[in-house]
Amino acid sequence: MARVPIHNYFAVFLLVIALACINAEGTGDPEIDIETFGSRNQLLDSIFNDSLVVTEYLFGRSEELCEKLIDDEMYRNETSEELESRDDVVKNCRRRVVERLYPTGGRYGSKTEETLWHKYGLANIQKMVNQKYEEFFAEIVQRMDDYVKGLTPEQQTRTTARNLRKWSSKIKDAPTLSMKNMFYNSCMRFYYFERGV
């Protein structure tokens, strides 16, 4: 009889332990968990879809501002339009305006660009975009809180409810729009990409 090296037995032993650990996690009531996860995913999907609506609004306002800006002589001199097509200039303008308007975006531009943006109403657009984001964050916090309140007392003690309460609280308590957006993005990343429970 051939001798089997000890490391093979050790590998099989680790495999058995891993299988036992994987199967030990699902010992709760599976119907309630599946129901909770399904409704939680519906909540998160609807919140994500609402964020797309706010983002579309942001892009629309950026497009409007850039269309006004493109025809200004100062802007054409600033961007040296001779070297670029009109579409490229609009695309670059839109990118810079979106970066400027987005809650966590940079607030820097050239002096000429800043002057032109304000000439064509950037301050008003910024107020409208900020208002949309404030409304969005208030609404999603309310929806998360309502979702957790609608769960049974047993479900409210589980990880899913605790995590939703945590994210809701972080977004609600954030002092700035930029921080609210940062926590919202972290929440979505947690649930969609990091397999959050």
Higher pLDDT, residue 88 or 35: 88
Q: Is the pLDDT of residue 30 over 50?
A: no
What is the amino acid identity at position 98? Answer: V
In DSSP notation, 37-53 reads HHHHHHHHHHHHHHHHH
Q: Is the pLDDT of residue 7 over 80?
A: no
What is the number of helices (H) and of strands (E) in the chain? 9, 0
Q: Is the pLDDT of residue 106 over 60?
A: yes
Q: Is the pLDDT of residue 37 over 80?
A: no
Render pLDDT for 53-80 as a digit per residue (tens, 0 to 9): 999 999 999 988 888 887 766 666 555 5
Q: What average pLDDT does the chain have?
A: 80
CB atoms within 10 A of CB 148: 19
pLDDT value of residue 41 = 87
3-state secondary structure of 152: coil
pTM over 0.85: no
